[in-house]
């Protein structure tokens, strides 16, 4: 019925948050800000301090990375609805690893760092889900790295 | 016969009366002379330790006045005497007919003659024969004379009392001024041991009782002593032995009472000390309030306070007991004398050795003795009491090593810039606990050298900087400027040619601009045009300042030394200030402060008019642009979605301290009656129930400190518990059935509801329309007493209760648009700049009140400000002792580089030198000379590149 209800449903569709009890999801939605961005607006810049994670409600966003942080960034990925943005950085106080820019008009739910961390403290299920997600990403990164190394070795040999 | 009935003036009075003019004109001359002397000897007077005895202090400063007032009192005596004497005469003669036994008898009126006492050979001198008057005219004449004398007597009293009052106030003023003057000259280290509030209590409260006493200090004993002596001589004259009885009793009083009084005086001293400690303690509670709150020690403080108050109470209680006991003894002894007169005198009278007339004479004369004697004893009591109080104060202000007043002597002349070199020889500094702060430092720097000192905290670098700045005096060794001891330089050289930034960023309350200009106020350089004087000064302001030994320098003159800043007058000040503020990156802060300020249109009519103009310019700019969805402006006929329901209802800003704050709105009868009209109250009640339910559902199991509560804008964590039962009752009984207190609790909630923020979809179009209607009828019939409690939004007028920014915006920034506030602010800033309002706002920002101790600014901002004003001062040597330690390393670096750039000047002119104690040693390479301190010793010096190769400790610090 309310907008809040839609947002709760959105949160529930995120695998990481799926197991949270209904009232916690609602609380998270209540405490989060609904933000809209015009095309070309930047959500945050690479190197910024991380204060929040974002969940895309509608629209899309480019992930831009520049290797030394200064030069023109290149787009490495595009994120659509239901994607979670910037969740890693708020867990361990590292600066943003990429710049996020709206590639069309974008609506998102902004979850503040304190709220996310507090939720995790309260709910072991959530913490475990986040852990799972991270381990999966780590596994993927490790795999990517070994592939990349092989490629480098090949190139050097060749 | 004629003489007896005539109006006789006794001879001793007459002589005094006649010679009064000469004596008094002499007094007057003396007092004028006194002022002149004082003017020349101000410095000597200021340098002399305060007299330990109050009477000596008073006599030194008010000798002439004391003698004059004594003369006036003596001159007033004849009238006083006549006023007492005339009524008897009026009753006896014209009314009862004494001397008018024969029809047509006359009496002489205003016969002035002297009758000499017999030991001078007797005889009479008639000065004025007087008028012969009959009974009726004689009554009229005597009565009129009585009325005239009463007036004269009253005028005498009026004059004497005001004179004494003025004398006391002048002395108080002098004393307060002198005490504070001494505080200004205390050695800096002494301030570690004193509490500000104790000094304040001494200067303000403890000297207060002196004022009353000072007027009577000399007059009273002379006057009362004279009275007592006359009465006493009279008694002796009547009967030697009875007189001796009186002497004996007085002797007992005089010996016994000081003995009894000893403990009273001791108690008085204790009372003063405990009261002073109490005010010191209260000052500490206020200063240390945060540590009381974080440690939950408020009850400990209460207990401590109570124990202090109890001590004071028992001291005072004992004091009362003893005081009144002494009074009892006093009264008893006073009554013992007549007892002895009756017994002893009666015995002699019965025996026939004393005639009854004499006895009655003695007893009558004795009536006049106790009151002056008691008065004298009281006076003495007060004297001793006040003297002890005074000594207690003086002790605190006669401090060892107080600065010579000469060093702080003001001078209008500009001070030549310093050049040459500063030589530090064998410098040793030891603090008062005996800890060495610097040991054997030896170095030389040019005044305009760009040097820094590095080393860990307590390594001696800071103490060396403080010594250069004159805040610490060397314990041994010397600091020489071109061969002259730095400690002997008057403050007008040190204070104008040196600047200092320490880490202690205390700033007294003032505006931003005055805080910046404070460092350049050394002497009253320009006469005021009167515009800065709040109310007209008393014409005698200057004369009174002189009479109390206060400084004659006018506070209202323009003290700012524009020449020293390199400009010619106040018009150019803003450019200079902007320049230094930009160096310390405070320009933007000042702009922000200006935007957040609440301006009063009455005080800044032009600026506020311009701002209202800007409001319209902004609107034109926004309408139709992409920003239009970022701002929702106030519209009398439209609901503002991004504002609270309360704001939409009131359509204005609640004036502070009034009952229309949103939490109190529900209590307002008038508003409730408006809400009732359309059934809006019921709708809001339902909203309240829904809000309370949501809040309980989401927040009930969270602890009150949980960060989620920040998002709960319509309820506090403490209230959450209360609402459970209220909601249950409300659901059961409905809007009509529920009790008023529950109804209020629920009605209160929706006032702070904002749909785009809370997103509960509680506010539909119908409800918005109802609120709009309520807004209209609310303002149509607004009762008179509420007219001033709401400052209504009006497109054409400036709202004094909103910030500058809100006034320009005239609306709300929409929730949920990314970076909305930033975008809007940037737009406003650009528009202001385009319309040339930069300067106006900059000036408005400089009027910002920085709060007590500058606490409305952050510590970093205060430190930046202190650095900025050090630059503004254009001193020759800038000493910085970790002056930017509240800033992050990056900002420090930027500021240090900028200041060094200034110090190098254009084309190597080197306008000033720097001695900078760095918090981050990595910056040392920017300086021309580096001093490395380690364990209170100067271990290495030279250019950074040299030290890099040779000094291990330097490498360690920089790494």
- Whether the per-residue pLDDT at B799 is higher than 60: the answer is yes
To probe the interface with A, which of B703, B759, B888 has the most A CB atoms within 10 Å? B759
DSSP calls for B241-262: HHHHHHHHHHHHHHHHHHHHHH
Taking the CA atoms of B258, B261, B266 and B269 in sequence, report the sign of the dihedral they define.
negative
How many C-beta atoms lie closer than 10 Å to residue B733's C-beta?
13
CB contact under 8 A, B818 and A31: no
Q: Which of A2, A20, A30 to mutate to test the interface with B (most CBs of B within 10 A)?
A: A30
Chain B positions touching A23 (Cβ under 8 A) are: 697-698
DSSP per residue, B664-718 = TGGG-HHHHHHHHHTTHHHHHHHHHHHHHHHHHHHHTTS-TT-GGGGG-TTS-HH
**Sign of the alpha-carbon dihedral angle for B726, B727, B732, B733:** positive
Q: How confident is the model at residue B36 (pLDDT cuts 50, 70, 90)?
A: very low
Whole-angstrom Cα distance, residue B913 to residue B448?
A: 3
Select the residue from B690, B701, B708, B712 to test the A interface by mutation, using most A Cβ atoms within 10 A. Answer: B708
Reported as a pLDDT band with limits 50, 70 and 90, residue B17 is: very low
DSSP per position, B561-599 = -TGGGT-SSGGGHHHHHHHHHHHTT-HHHHHHHHHHPPP
Cβ–Cβ of B760/A34 closer than 8 Å?
Answer: no
CA distance A42 to chain B (A): 9
Say which of A4, A23, A38 has its CB closest to residue B759: A4
Asked whether the beta carbons of residue B760 and residue A112 sit closer than 8 angstroms, the reply is no
**Shortest alpha-carbon distance between residue B192 and chain A (Å):** 42
Percent of chain B with pLDDT over 90: 9
Nearest residue in B to A40, CA atom: B818
C-beta atoms of A27 and B760 within 8 A: no
Chain B: give the shortest CA distance to residue A18, in Å.
18
pLDDT of residue B763 exceeding 90: no
Ordered DSSP codes for A42-67: EEE-TTPPP-EEEEEEES-EEEEE-T
Residue B119 pLDDT? 65
Contacts of B695 in chain A (CB under 8 A): none
Q: How far apart are CA B139 and CA B580, in angstroms?
A: 86
> In the prediction, which pLDDT does B306 show?
94
Which among A36, A43, A118 has the least Cβ separation from residue B706? A118
Across the interface, whether the CB atoms of A27 and B698 are under 8 A apart is answered yes
Contact B697 A23 (CB under 8 A): yes
Residues of chain A in contact with residue B694, where contact means CB-CB under 8 angstroms, are 30
How far is Cα B53 from Cα B387, in angstroms, rounded to an integer? 6
Residue found under tokens 């913490």: A127
Average pLDDT over residues B599-613: 83
CA distance linking residue B231 with residue B247, whole number of Å: 12
Of A114-123, B234-243, B889-898, the one with minimum mean pLDDT is B234-243
* pLDDT exceeds 90 at position B351: no
> Measuring CA to CA, which residue among A155, A133, A153, A135 is closest to residue A143?
A135
Average pLDDT over residues B236-259: 81
Using an 8 Å Cβ cutoff, are B461 and B935 in contact? no
Residue in A26, A36, A38 closest to B816 by CB: A36
pLDDT of residue B30: 36
Q: Is A26 on the interface with B (CB under 8 A)?
A: yes
Across residues B258-281, what is the average pLDDT?
A: 87
Interface contact A2, partner B, CB < 8 A: yes
When pLDDT is averaged across residues B684-692 and rounded to a whole number, the result is: 85
Report chain A residues whose CB lies below 8 A from the CB of B699.
27
Query: What pLDDT does residue B14 have?
Result: 35
Is any Cβ of chain A less than 8 angstroms from the Cβ of B244?
A: no
> Whole-angstrom Cα distance, residue B304 to residue B298?
10
Give the H or E element holding residue B627: none
Inspect the interface and report whether the beta carbons of B761 and A3 lie closer than 8 Å.
yes
Cβ-Cβ pairs closer than 8 A, A with B, add up to 50
Residue B816 sits at the chain A interface (C-beta within 8 Å): yes
User: What's the gap in Å between the CA of A96 and the closest CA on chain B?
Assistant: 18
- Strand, coil or helix: B524: strand
Q: Which helix (H) or strand (E) holds A142?
A: helix A124-157
Range in B194-198, B341-345, B359-363 with the lowest mean pLDDT: B359-363
Give residue B360's pLDDT. Answer: 78
- Helices B717-737 and B680-699 pack at an angle, to 10 degrees, of 140
- Interface contact flag, B761 A36, Cβ < 8 Å: no
State whether residue B818 sits within 8 Å of chain A by CB: yes
Q: Which residue has the tokens 């802060």?
A: B589
Residue A33 and residue B816: Cβ atoms within 8 Å?
yes
Q: How confident is the model at residue B313 (pLDDT cuts 50, 70, 90)?
A: very high
- Kindly identify which residue of chain A lies nearest to residue B758, measuring between CA atoms: A30
Q: What is the pLDDT of residue A2?
A: 55
Please tell me which residue of chain A has the smallest CA distance to B816. Answer: A35
State residue B916's pLDDT score. Answer: 92
Residue A58 distance to chain B (closest CA, Å): 14
- Mean local confidence (pLDDT), B352-368: 75
In angstroms, the Cα distances linking B535 to A21, B169, B266, B548 are 70, 22, 46, 22
Who wins on pLDDT, B350 or B8?
A: B350
pLDDT digits (tens, 9 = 90+) for B741-757: 888 888 888 888 888 87
The pLDDT assigned to B1 comes to 32
At B283 the pLDDT is: 87
DSSP character for B91? I
Verify whether the Cβ–Cβ distance A2 to B817 is below 8 Å.
no
The DSSP 8-state label assigned to residue B412 in this structure reads: -
pLDDT at A19: 76
B760 touches chain A (CB under 8 A): yes
Q: Span B167-188, mean pLDDT?
A: 90
Mean pLDDT, all residues of chain A: 82
Residue of B nearest to A43 (CA): B818
Question: Does residue B132 register a pLDDT over 70?
Answer: yes
pLDDT at B262 over 60: yes
Residue from A25, A31, A101, A110 to probe the interface with B (highest B Cβ count within 10 Å): A31
pLDDT grade for B115, boundaries at 50, 70 and 90: low
With CB atoms and an 8 Å threshold, state whether A27 touches B759: no
Q: Does A38 lie at the interface with B, CB-CB under 8 angstroms?
A: yes
Whole-number pLDDT of residue B40:
44
Topology classification of domain A3-157: Jelly Rolls (2.60.120)
Residue B312: pLDDT band with limits 50, 70, 90: very high
- Domain ranges, ordered by start, for chain A: 3-157
With CB atoms and an 8 Å threshold, state whether B818 touches A41.
yes
Residue B6 has pLDDT above 70, yes or no: no
Helix (H) or strand (E) holding B6: none
Q: Which residue of B has its CA nearest to A26?
A: B698
Q: Which residues pair with B485 in a beta bridge?
A: B480
**Amino acid B3: pLDDT:** 35
The residue with greater pLDDT, B563 or A90, is B563
Residue B759 has its nearest CB partner, among A23, A34, A118, at A34
Judge: B818–A118 Cβ closer than 8 Å, yes or no.
no
Q: Is any Cβ of chain A less than 8 angstroms from the Cβ of B711? A: yes
Q: Do B698 and A7 touch (CB under 8 A)?
A: no
Which pLDDT value is given to residue B917? 92
Give me the half-sphere count of Cα atoms (radius 13 Å) on the Cβ side of residue A102.
22
pLDDT tens across the length of chain A (158 residues): 356 777 888 888 877 777 777 778 888 888 888 888 888 888 888 878 888 888 888 888 888 888 765 667 788 888 888 888 887 777 777 788 888 888 888 888 888 888 888 888 877 888 888 888 888 888 988 999 999 999 999 988 86
The predicted pLDDT at position B656 comes to 65
Query: In terms of CA atoms, which chain B residue is nearest residue A114?
Result: B707
Cβ contact, residue pair A114, B707, below 8 Å = yes
How many angstroms away from the CA of B820 is the closest CA of chain A?
10
Nearest-Cα distance to chain A for B684, in Å, is: 18
Q: How far apart are CA B23 and CA B13, in angstroms?
A: 14
Q: Which domains does chain B have, with CATH numbers?
A: 1-185 (no CATH), 188-409 (1.20.1560.10), 421-510+875-958 (3.40.50.300), 598-634+793-846 (no CATH), 656-791 (no CATH)
pTM for the model? 0.71
Which tokens hold the place of B322?
């003893």
pLDDT at B486: 84
| CB < 8 Å to A118, chain B | 706-708
SS3 B528: coil
pLDDT score for B309:
94
DSSP A67-89: TTSSS--EEEEEE-TT-EESHHH
Q: What is the mean pLDDT of chain B?
A: 82
Hey, are the CB atoms on B706 and A31 less than 8 Å from each other? no
Q: Please, which pLDDT band fits residue B209 given cuts at 50, 70 and 90?
A: confident
pLDDT at B657: 55
Half-sphere exposure (CA, 13 Å, Cβ side) for B70? 18
pLDDT at residue B2 greater than cutoff 60: no
**Nearest CB partner across the interface for B818, out of A1, A36, A118:** A36
Q: How confident is the model at residue B303 (pLDDT cuts 50, 70, 90)?
A: very high
Report the complex ipTM.
0.77
How many Cβ atoms from other residues are within 10 Å of residue B383's Cβ?
18
Q: Which residues of A touch B759 (CB under 8 A)?
A: 2-4, 7, 30, 34
């Amino acid at each position: 019925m309310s907008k809040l209800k839609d947002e709760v449903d959105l949160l529930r569709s995120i695998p990481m948050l799926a197991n949270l009890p209904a009232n916690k999801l609602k609380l998270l939605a209540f405490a989060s800000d609904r933000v809209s961005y015009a095309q070309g607006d930047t959500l945050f810049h690479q190197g910024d301090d991380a204060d929040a994670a974002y969940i895309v409600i509608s629209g899309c966003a480019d992930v831009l990375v520049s290797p030394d942080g200064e030069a023109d960034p290149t787009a490495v990925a595009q994120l659509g609805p239901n994607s979670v943005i910037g969740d890693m950085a708020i867990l361990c106080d590292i600066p943003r690893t990429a710049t996020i820019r709206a590639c069309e008009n974008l609506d998102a739910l902004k979850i503040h760092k304190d709220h996310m961390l507090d939720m995790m403290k309260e709910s072991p299920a959530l913490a475990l889900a986040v852990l799972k997600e991270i381990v999966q990403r780590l596994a993927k990164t490790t795999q990517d790295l070994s592939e990349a190394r092989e490629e480098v070795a090949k190139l050097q040999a060749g | 016969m004629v003489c007896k009935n005539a109006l006789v003036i006794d001879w001793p009075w007459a002589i005094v009366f006649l010679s009064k003019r000469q004596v008094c004109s002499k007094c007057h001359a003396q007092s004028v002379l006194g002022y002149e002397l004082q003017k020349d000897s101000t410095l000597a007077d200021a340098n002399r330790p305060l007299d330990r005895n109050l009477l000596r202090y008073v006599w030194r400063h008010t000798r002439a006045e004391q003698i004059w007032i004594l003369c006036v009192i003596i001159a007033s005596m004849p009238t006083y005497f006549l006023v007492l004497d005339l009524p008897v005469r009026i009753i006896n003669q014209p009314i009862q007919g004494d001397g008018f036994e024969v029809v047509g008898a006359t009496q002489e009126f205003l016969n002035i003659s002297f009758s000499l006492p017999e030991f001078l050979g007797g005889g009479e001198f008639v000065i004025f024969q007087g008028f012969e008057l009959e009974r009726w005219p004689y009554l009229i004449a005597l009565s009129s004379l009585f009325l005239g004398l009463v007036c004269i007597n009253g005028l005498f009293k009026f004059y004497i009392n005001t004179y004494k009052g003025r004398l006391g106030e002048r002395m108080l003023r002098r004393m307060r001024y002198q005490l504070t003057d001494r505080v200004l000259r205390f050695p800096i280290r002494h301030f570690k041991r004193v509490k500000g509030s104790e000094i304040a209590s001494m200067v303000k409260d403890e000297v207060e009782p002196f004022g009353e006493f000072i007027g009577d200090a000399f007059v009273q004993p002379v006057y009362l002593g004279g009275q007592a002596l006359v009465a006493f001589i009279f008694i002796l004259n009547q009967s030697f032995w009875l007189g001796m009885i009186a002497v004996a009793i007085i002797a007992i009083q005089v010996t016994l009472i000081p003995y009894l009084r000893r403990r009273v005086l001791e108690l008085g001293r204790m009372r003063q000390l405990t009261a002073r400690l109490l005010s010191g303690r209260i000052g500490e509670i206020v200063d240390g309030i945060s540590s009381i709150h974080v440690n939950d020690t408020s009850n400990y403080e209460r207990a401590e306070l109570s124990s202090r108050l109890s001590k004071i109470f028992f001291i005072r209680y004992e004091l009362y007991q003893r005081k009144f006991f002494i009074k009892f003894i006093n009264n008893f002894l006073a009554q013992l004398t007549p007892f002895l007169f009756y017994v002893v005198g009666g015995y002699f009278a019965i025996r026939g050795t004393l005639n009854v007339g004499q006895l009655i004479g003695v007893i009558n004369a004795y009536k006049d003795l106790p009151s002056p004697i008691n008065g004298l004893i009281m006076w003495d009591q007060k004297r001793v009491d006040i003297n002890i109080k005074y000594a207690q104060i003086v002790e605190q202000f006669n401090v060892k090593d107080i600065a010579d007043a000469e060093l702080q002597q003001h001078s209008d002349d500009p001070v030549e810039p310093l050049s040459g070199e500063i030589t530090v020889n064998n410098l040793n500094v030891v603090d008062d606990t005996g800890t060495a702060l610097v040991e054997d430092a030896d170095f030389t720097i040019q005044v305009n050298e760009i040097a820094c000192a590095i080393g860990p905290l307590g390594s001696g670098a800071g103490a060396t900087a403080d010594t250069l700045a004159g805040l610490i005096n060397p314990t041994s060794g010397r600091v020489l400027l071109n061969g002259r001891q730095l400690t002997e330089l008057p403050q007008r050289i040190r204070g104008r040619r040196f600047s200092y930034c320490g880490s202690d960023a205390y700033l007294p309350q003032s505006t931003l601009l005055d805080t910046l200009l404070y460092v350049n106020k050394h002497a009253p350089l320009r006469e005021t045009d009167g515009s800065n004087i709040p109310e007209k000064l008393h014409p005698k302001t200057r004369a009174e300042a002189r009479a109390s030994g206060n400084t004659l320098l006018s506070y209202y003159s323009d003290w700012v030394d524009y020449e020293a800043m390199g400009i010619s007058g106040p018009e150019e000040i803003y450019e200079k200030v902007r320049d230094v503020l930009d160096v310390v990156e405070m320009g933007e802060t000042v702009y922000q402060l200006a935007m957040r300020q609440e301006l009063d249109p009455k005080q800044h009519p032009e600026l506020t008019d311009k701002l209202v103009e800007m409001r319209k310019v902004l609107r034109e700019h926004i309408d139709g642009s992409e920003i239009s969805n970022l701002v929702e402006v106030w519209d009398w006929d439209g609901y503002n979605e991004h504002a609270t329901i309360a704001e939409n209802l009131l359509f204005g800003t609640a004036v502070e301290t009034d009952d229309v704050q949103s939490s109190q709105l529900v209590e307002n009868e008038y508003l409730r009656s408006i809400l009732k009209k359309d059934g809006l109250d019921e709708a809001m009640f339902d909203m309240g129930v829904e809000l309370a339910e949501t809040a309980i559902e989401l927040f009930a199991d969270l602890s009150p400190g949980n960060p989620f509560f920040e998002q709960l804008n319509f309820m506090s964590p403490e209230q959450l518990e209360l609402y459970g039962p209220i909601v249950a009752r409300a659901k059961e009984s409905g809007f009509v059935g529920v009790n008023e207190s529950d109804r209020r609790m629920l009605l209160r909630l929706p006032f702070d509801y904002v749909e785009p923020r809370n997103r509960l979809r509680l506010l539909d179009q119908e409800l918005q329309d109802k609120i709009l209607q309520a807004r209209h009828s609310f303002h149509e019939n607004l009762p008179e007493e509420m007219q001033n409690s709401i400052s209504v939004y009006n497109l054409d007028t400036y709202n004094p209760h909103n910030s500058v920014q809100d006034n320009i915006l005239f609306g709300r920034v929409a929730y949920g648009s990314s970076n909305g506030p930033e975008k809007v602010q940037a737009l406003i800033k650009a528009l202001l700049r385009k319309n040339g309002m930069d300067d106006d706002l900059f000036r408005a920002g400089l009027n910002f009140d920085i709060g007590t101790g500058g606490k409305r600014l952050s510590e970093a901002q205060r430190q930046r400000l202190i650095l900025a004003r050090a630059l503004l001062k254009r001193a020759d040597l800038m000493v910085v002792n970790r002056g930017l330690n509240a800033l992050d390393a990056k900002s420090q670096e930027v500021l240090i580089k900028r200041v060094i750039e200034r110090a190098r000047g254009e084309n190597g002119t080197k306008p000033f030198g720097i001695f900078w104690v760095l918090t981050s040693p990595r910056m040392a390479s920017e300086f021309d000379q580096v001093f490395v301190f380690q364990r209170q010793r100067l271990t290495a010096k030279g250019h950074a590149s040299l030290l890099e190769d040779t000094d291990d400790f330097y490498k360690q610090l920089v790494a």
